Every structure is written in structure tokens, then in C-alpha cells.
Chain A
Amino acid sequence: MLAEGALASGCRFFAGYPITPASEIYEVMMRELPGRAGLGLSAPDEISSLCYCVGASLRGLKAMTATSGPGWALMIETVQYALMTETPVVIALVQRLGPSTGGATQGAQGDVWLAAFSTSGGYTIPVFSPSTAAECYELVQQAFDWSERLRTPALVLSDKEVGMTTEVVDDATLEKIAVHERPRSTRHPSRGAYAFDDPEEVPTFTEVGGDVKVTVTGSAHDQAGRLRKNSPEVLEVLQHLQRKIEAHAEEMALAKPDLDPDARCLLISYGVTARAARQAVGMLRREGYPISFLQIQTLFPVPLRALDWAVASAPFVFVAEENLTGQYRAVLAPHLSGKQVFGINKIGSLISPTEIVRAVQGVMS
């Protein structure tokens, strides 16, 4: 479904390297792209995969690759290049149990930090986290949309359980969004590839190979793309890279609240664990226990408004995720001051609805 969503977004270029549990996306793209006027390519490693995608995107094509933790580790230099050169590209990161080679056929949600905190300088890369096949379809479109609109790399962070479980999806309910193209008007052609008036503005894109000369560089540069040192303009460009994302943080922030005004506790989850969490919420409510729930779909930038709204009346907050150290709980912690925050964590297999119910009841009763 992720591959289908990418194709629906207008993805025309895919380069991949086999890795469980992302290989299915690779295989579907290799099969489908030739018939849809695109190119699917087998790369000799994950560094090449992402470099090929970025190269194709510099020519104006929507491009994607898919990998898992070990491959993502190899891509981090290139994702920073895409960020610095403001080149749109989408990476589907299908998590498996780490660290290192880890458990290739076991799911996990252990790459949240690795995905989000992979840039020198701590820049925000949009990260979307689907919990179902249908959400894979929807959120990869969001990733393409924001990647194009903001000229940034974007990630879809799924996992083995979401990526490799076959499930029935009702076609009629699938959301299709109108994926934007990167801004292309050549408003400042003479001022170069990275020209902006306001640091929040996204520079218009000019493709390499067209009539207007393009200067691209991963080095610190001015608005014309010229390598510069100690120039105030370089610092402006660096700040702009973060500010253009922050300016759209709320628009990008997708979360699904299911709130109960009487609830004193809020359960937060994302990805595959959100499925168990939804079920646990149903079980608790059937027992007459009021509880609020927030599924976060945009992990980064953090959907602060939805979070503030959801926690407002709940002094107790539970964050359920399939990792050892509560990676996303730690991300949320600064925004939950004054609340009692508890983690529901596990590795090796799915967190079950019953485990969530017990954890909540254990604290609340």
C-alpha cells in the first residue's frame, strides 16, 4: 500500500536495495514503475540508492527509496545532503528489531531517534508514522506533498508489522490527497537556486539540465549556491532550512484525537502500537473507565497543538511504543511538564491491548 501511495503521489523514480521488511516495496516499485513512465532501479547499496534518488530529484522527478534500520544508517550522509541542497526525496523506513542486523523478521519501533536525530545541527525532517495499510497509502502521500512543498527529505516510518501484514483495505475509504509539485516559478532565476526574501519562504526549484544554470552544493552556501565562509548570508540560509519547516509545523502535524472530557488519563501512541492502543481504549471504556486517546501520525514536527489540547484535562499520560527506552515519550516529555508520564514499552513482539489495559489500570487504580 505504501508503494501504491507513492505511485499515486506521482513518484517516477525508485532505487532500492533488498532488506527485510522493506523488500516488498522495492519489488512492487520495480514491477510497477516501468508501466507508469517511471524507472525502478536496483542499486548496489543503500548509499547509492539514496544518491540515485537525489540525482533524479535534481532533474525534477519525484523519487523514493525504501529501507530498514541497517540501510538507513548508511543513508544518513546523503539525507543530510538532500536537506542542505533542498532536494525533495522520500524515504520509507520500515523498522525491524535492532541494533545492528538485529532481528530481520521481527518488528520494532526502535528507530524513532535514529530517524529524527540524524542530521548534524539537529534540523527537523518531517516523519510520518502509519499504523495500518490504509495509513501507509495516505501518509506516503503526505510525505511526498510536504517533501515537494518544502523542498526537503521526508520519512515514512513504518515497521515490519505494518509493512508486511496483509490486510483487507476498503478502497472506498482510502484518502487520496492532491500532492503538490515543488514550487517552480523562476521568480529569482538570476539570484540562484536558494533565493528567498523571507527565511520561511521555500526557494523556487529549477531543475538541473534546464535552460537556467543551476548551482547545487552540500557545502555551506549563500542564496546563489556559492560556497562561502564567515558570511552572514550563509547563516541566514542555515536558519532558513529550519524555519521553512517550522513555519508549516502545525499544518503538517497530523494526529487523531479520541478524547473523553471526563478522562483523567490520556493514552498516546503511534505506528503499529496505536492499533493495540485503540483496542485497549475500547476495552477500558466498555468497563466504564473514561480514557482519552491520541494517535500521532506526524511524529516530527511534533503536533504540539493537538498534544496540548489532548493533555489539557488529563494529569496522567501514558505513551505506548515498541521500544525499550521510550523514544517518543522522551521527545514529548518537555511538552508534558506538570503531568505524570508513564511509558508502556516492550521489545520482541507487539504490545497487546491487554498489556496496555493492565498498565493503565495498574497506575490508575
Chain B
Amino acid sequence: MAESVYLAPDVQLPYCRGCGHALVVRHLSRALERLGLPPRSVVLTTDIGCVGLADSLFPYLHTVHTTHGRSTAFATGMALAEVTLDEHRLKPIVMVGDGGAMIGLLHLVHAAQLNVDITVLVHNNFLFGMTGGQHSALTPLNWVTATTPEGNWTPPLDLLALLRTAHAGFLARQYATAADLDTTIADAIDFPGFSLVEVVELCTAYATRWNRLTGKTLDEAMQRQGYRIGEFETEQERPTFIDLYRHEHGSHSASEPEPQFEEVSTRAQLEKELHLVVAGTAGERVQSAANLLCRAALAVGLYSTQKNDNPVTQGTGFSLAEICLSPQPIEYTGMESPDVVVIASGDGWKELLANGTVARCHAGTLVLLDSEVEASPSVGRTVRLPLRRQANPKRAALAGLAAWMSMTSALPAAAWEAVLTALPAGRQADTAEAIQIGRRLAESGNGAVA
């Protein structure tokens, strides 16, 4: 018999007598035969449940027996790996029950959206077979199951309608008893992209024991639910995820390396670790100012660490960065007591009060405070600078850091130049101006505090 290429010739099917799963297995074998697919170009990916016993029946196909509901996700991973494998063509065929389809619903939705080249056979017997006939999300109204002894009153999920909204390319619903089920399955496998066949079948161990079901009453139930039977190619063939990915990234070109900057010959005059905090308002480039300072420090031979903090919603409230600068590699990145605090806005001040930074300042801490902020730190030396007004709010943090740098001899001014030249051209002028404003503010009168 021709079908023996796929289904073992002497196969003993492991299902109850009359179970629809047996019909699907035979039709699948015939469909593969008809398509003439080499057995090693197919991987049967089976779910958990009676439906999952099928892998042992196909001795020549690759088989992957997975976990409950996840079969589609494993198949998707196997299919997508082809992006990087130039020659192979592997067709994953997923066999999953109605129970598995629901617990793993998002995998079906995502596979349909991505349009991965896999075929899913949902064995819809309207209940959980292997675990004893409990109702599933696809159980029709009024059906008696182990968990709906009075009849099911939760309306069933129309899987195909749902997957249509996820842009599934090929969808079909067919009875397991249909003579041409193999044709439907073959069409699905042949479809270049995501395809799914919902096979309507009966579990003879539970469904027919507790409900009066014949082919005719089943058909009536389907009509009551408005379920059409047949093949629906819902979308014209569209490119698969792999097609699009290859198109998008076809040239395999490496991404542009970040511009590197030259170290400058002047070295920093820093003997021990220095701890800085810069705080301001989210969206006002506080953390990127801190990052520039760390780069500047690197250019003059210092190690640095930068830890950012902001509220969970990143676009509002405070934004701060804690920086350690050191002539040696840095171990502890926390801050027991800051040496320099730059406060660029009221939001920043409020957070530093709340998180305990202000309380941890010592007598020698230099606090550079924007003049608009209503605050009066009681510890350390406070210098008020019109950062927001002169540099504008988005550059206040950077101007503050630049002001500090010209008040101290720790970092040579050349450090900034090195950073500036490595910036993208569009950002150079703006950044240079902020640094210039900071320097001027430090020198005009307040510079004495250094």
C-alpha cells in the first residue's frame, strides 16, 4: 500500500474504536503520499492528549512530541530557523486537540500573524479526551461532559473566525469522516504560509456516551453554531515572515559600529573614587548628559559606572543618574555619600530627598542647584546656577555637569573635546553650546567655590 511510506504498514492505532483521530492519521498519510513529500522534509509536531500519540505511528518522519498547547510554538521556532539555513526546506505539521488549541491559543494567533510556513491540524472532538472527557472552550452549547453534567452553557469559541482576524492565510473546516479530508489536508500543506484545518470529529469514549450524537445531529449542531464546512483561503498569498525578513535584511550587512573617539594625552588628576549624582526631569536628557560625562572621563583615562533611575513610566516625573569615576576599576557601584550633586529641576530635587541622597551628603558635598528650584540643602556647599534659564531645560543637566568640571581640576577640559568630536554631526553644535554655557556660569562669579 502506497500510504505505508508514511504510516507504518502494520500500524496498531492506539485510539478507542471509532475515534476520529484514526481517520485524520490515515488521511494525513494519504495527503503526504499525494504531495510526494520526502519523509525527511516533514516534522510532525504533536501536542499533548490522545492526539499526541500520532508521532509514534510515522516511523519515517521527523517527530517532535511537545508540551500541552505549545506544539505550534515549537513548530514556529523550527520553521523560523530556516532564515539562517540556506538549503533546508522543512515543513512542520502540527497535530493538536481542541484543548491544546485553547491553552496555546496565542501561539496559533502569532504563527498566523507571522505567516510562518506550517500546517496545523486541530483535532476538534469538542472536549478533552485523554484526561476524561472534560469540556473545552470549543464544546457546543448543551453538551454533557465530565465537567458540565447539566450541559454546557458557555458559548463555544469559533477558532477559525478568530484566526481570520489574525490574518491566517489558509483556513478550512472538515469532518473527519469526509472522504476528501486528505485533499483538504494536502491543500493546507501545499499552501506556502500558515494554514490550519479544523477537523470536526467525535470522541467515542466520552462525547457519544453522554450525548445523543450521530453524523446528522453533529451536522445540525455545526449549523446552529453557524460553522461552515469547507476550505476558505481567507487571504491572498502573502509573503511569509521569512520572505519579509530576508527582504528586509537581505544583505547580511553588519550594523554600523558606534563612532569611537581618541583618548587624549592629558590624563585626569583623580586620586580616589568620585561620586556624582545628576537629577532632573524625565525627557530632559539627564541620563544622556551623564553618559557624555562618563565618555569624557574615559577619554582622559578614568573608569566609570553609570546607574540610571526613573519612575516605572519612563516619560514623566524624575530622571536621575548616579556616576562613579575612578582611576581604578570600580567595584561597588552604589553610593554611600555623594561628592557632587547636580540638580537640574524640581522633580530631581524631590526624588533626591525621597530616595535619601540629600540625607547622605557630607560637609564637603558640592551641590549645584538650578536657581529656579525652591530648595535649601542644609548639608554641603550649595551653588545656585541659572541652568534652565540660560541653557534651556533640555540642556540644563549637561550645563550643570560642565559647570562642575570647570570648577574642579579633576578632569581636564580636553575631555569634552574628545567626546564632542565623536558625536554625530547633528548633535555637536548643540552639545558644545550647553557645555560652553556651563563653563561660563561656573567662571562668572560662582567659580570661586571650586
Asked if A pairs with B, the answer is yes
A350 touches B332 (CB 8 A): yes
Which chain A positions have C-beta within 8 A of B377? Answer: none
- CB proximity to B under 8 Å, residues A66-109: 77-78, 81, 104-105
Which chain B positions have C-beta within 8 A of A58? Answer: 64, 74, 77-78
Per-residue interface assignment for chain B, residues 368 to 405, with 1 indicating a CB less than 8 Å from any chain A CB and 0 otherwise = 00000000000000000000000000000000000000
Given contacts A51-B73, A105-B310, contact A34 B332 (CB under 8 A): no
Given contacts A45-B106, A51-B74, A215-B55, contact A59 B81 (CB under 8 A): yes
Given contacts A51-B74, A209-B62, contact A165 B305 (CB under 8 A): yes
A56 touches B80 (CB 8 A): yes
Bound-state CA distance A352–B333 (Å) is 9
Which chain A positions have C-beta within 8 A of B66? Answer: 51, 81, 218
Q: How far is the CB of A186 from chain B (nearest CB, A)?
A: 14
Contacting chain B: which of A35-43, A110-118, A230-238, A252-260? A35-43
Bound-state CA distance A51–B45 (Å) is 12
Bound-state CA distance A210–B101 (Å) is 28
A39 touches B106 (CB 8 A): no
Which chain A positions have C-beta within 8 A of B88? Answer: 59, 209
A168 touches B304 (CB 8 A): yes
Q: How far is the CB of B141 from chain A (nearest CB, A)?
A: 30
B63 within 8 A of A: yes
B78 touches A56 (CB 8 A): yes
Bound-state CA distance A44–B77 (Å) is 13
Which chain B positions have C-beta within 8 A of A36? Answer: 252, 254
Which chain A positions have C-beta within 8 A of B80? Answer: 13, 39, 41, 52, 55-56
A47 touches B73 (CB 8 A): yes
Q: How far is the CB of A59 from chain B (nearest CB, A)?
A: 4
Which chain B positions have C-beta within 8 A of A47? Answer: 70, 73
A211 within 8 A of B: yes
Nearest CB in chain B to that of A272: its residue: B333
Per-residue interface assignment for chain A, residues 237 to 262, with 1 indicating a CB less than 8 Å from any chain B CB and 0 otherwise = 00000000000000000000000000
Bound-state CA distance A36–B81 (Å) is 14
A219 touches B62 (CB 8 A): no
- CB proximity to B under 8 Å, residues A147-180: 161, 164-168, 170
Nearest CB in chain A to that of B309: its residue: A105
Bound-state CA distance A105–B65 (Å) is 39
Which chain A positions have C-beta within 8 A of B336? Answer: 352, 354
Which residue among A37, A167, A170, A209 has the maximum number of chain B CB atoms within 10 Å of its CB?
A: A209
Bound-state CA distance A164–B314 (Å) is 15
Which chain A positions have C-beta within 8 A of B59? Answer: 213
Bound-state CA distance A166–B60 (Å) is 52
Bound-state CA distance A63–B84 (Å) is 12
B65 touches A349 (CB 8 A): no
A353 within 8 A of B: yes
B40 within 8 A of A: yes
Bound-state CA distance A208–B76 (Å) is 13
Given contacts A51-B107, A209-B43, contact A276 B332 (CB under 8 A): yes
A218 touches B67 (CB 8 A): yes
Per-residue interface assignment for chain B, residues 251 to 270, with 1 indicating a CB less than 8 Å from any chain A CB and 0 otherwise = 01111000000000000000
Nearest CB in chain A to that of B68: its residue: A77
B70 touches A208 (CB 8 A): no
Bound-state CA distance A8–B83 (Å) is 19
A278 touches B331 (CB 8 A): yes
- CB proximity to A under 8 Å, residues B303-343: 303-310, 312, 329-334, 336
Bound-state CA distance A117–B64 (Å) is 26
Given contacts A214-B62, A217-B65, contact A38 B70 (CB under 8 A): no
Which chain A positions have C-beta within 8 A of B83? Answer: 38-39
Q: How far is the CB of A205 from chain B (nearest CB, A)?
A: 13
Q: How would you classify the secondary structure of chain A's contact residues: helix, strand, loop or mixed?
A: mixed
Which chain B positions have C-beta within 8 A of A272? Answer: 333
Q: How far is the CB of B292 from chain A (nearest CB, A)?
A: 12
A119 within 8 A of B: no
B56 within 8 A of A: yes
B64 touches A216 (CB 8 A): yes
A38 touches B78 (CB 8 A): no
Q: How far is the CB of B89 from chain A (nearest CB, A)?
A: 8
Which residue from A12, A167, A217 sits with its C-beta under 8 Å from B303?
A: A167
Nearest CB in chain A to that of B325: its residue: A168
Given contacts A58-B77, A58-B78, A161-B307, contact A208 B84 (CB under 8 A): no
Which chain A positions have C-beta within 8 A of B249? Answer: 34-35
Nearest CB in chain A to that of B248: its residue: A34
B414 within 8 A of A: no
Which chain B positions have C-beta within 8 A of A165? Answer: 305-307, 333
A227 within 8 A of B: yes
Which chain B positions have C-beta within 8 A of A223? Answer: none
Bound-state CA distance A272–B331 (Å) is 9
Which residue among A37, A54, A208, A352 has the maximum number of chain B CB atoms within 10 Å of its CB?
A: A208
A61 within 8 A of B: yes
B298 touches A227 (CB 8 A): no
B107 touches A353 (CB 8 A): no
Which residue from A12, A43, A208 sits with its C-beta under 8 Å from B78?
A: A208
A313 within 8 A of B: no
B109 within 8 A of A: yes
What are 20 A-B interface contacts by the 8 Å CB criterion?
A12-B84, A34-B245, A35-B249, A35-B253, A37-B84, A44-B110, A51-B66, A55-B77, A55-B78, A55-B81, A59-B81, A60-B81, A104-B312, A166-B294, A168-B302, A209-B41, A210-B40, A218-B67, A275-B331, A278-B331
Give the A-binding residues of B (Cβ under 8 A): 39-41, 43, 55-56, 59-67, 70, 73-85, 88, 90, 106-107, 109-110, 245, 248-249, 252-255, 291, 294, 298, 302-310, 312, 329-334, 336
Nearest 9 pairs between A and B by C-beta? A55-B77, A51-B73, A34-B249, A59-B81, A52-B77, A217-B65, A209-B90, A350-B334, A35-B254
* Given A81-B67, A208-B62, A213-B61, 14 extra CB contacts under 8 A: A31-B255, A32-B255, A34-B245, A34-B248, A39-B83, A48-B110, A59-B82, A59-B85, A81-B66, A166-B294, A209-B85, A217-B64, A218-B67, A353-B331
